[in-house]
Amino acid sequence: DAGVIQSPRHEVTEMGQEVTLRCKPISGHDYLFWYRQTMMRGLELLIYFNNNVPIDDSGMPEDRFSAKMPNASFSTLKIQPSEPRDSAVYFCASSLLVTSGGALAQYFGPGTRLTVL
């Protein structure tokens, strides 16, 4: 398996522009997670999906952020308009199973390094 695939790997944009990050989870995984990592705040969960349905978006910082999962093999995280404080590494991760008895581990993509000027 190719693992979790993210694109682009690097994105540099100007404040006010729309940014779209893309993720392809591991085939067969039914959970997909979007994280943001900065030196100051560490790894933060933004939103996660189960079977393409958003389950918890309480980590999404504000209305400028939106995420979609139109099918089991693709998800997007959009920032519109982008601001310099959005600069971070954005990771997508997928997992096979989360049950009442606990979860299986998540597998991360290589991340998108976003710089907003």
Binding site for another protein (CB under 8 A): 33, 42-43, 45, 48, 50, 55-56, 91, 98, 100-111
Cβ at position 98, least distance to another protein in Å: 6
Cβ at position 103, least distance to another protein in Å: 4
Q: Which is nearer to another protein, 15 or 55 (CB)?
A: 55
Q: Which is nearer to another protein, 37 or 64 (CB)?
A: 37
Give 12-81 as a DSSP string: EE-TT--EEEEEEPPTT--EEEEEEEETTTEEEEEEEEETTEEEE-TT--STTEEEEEEETTEEEEEESS
Token readout for 75 is 């998800």
Q: Which is nearer to another protein, 48 or 65 (CB)?
A: 48
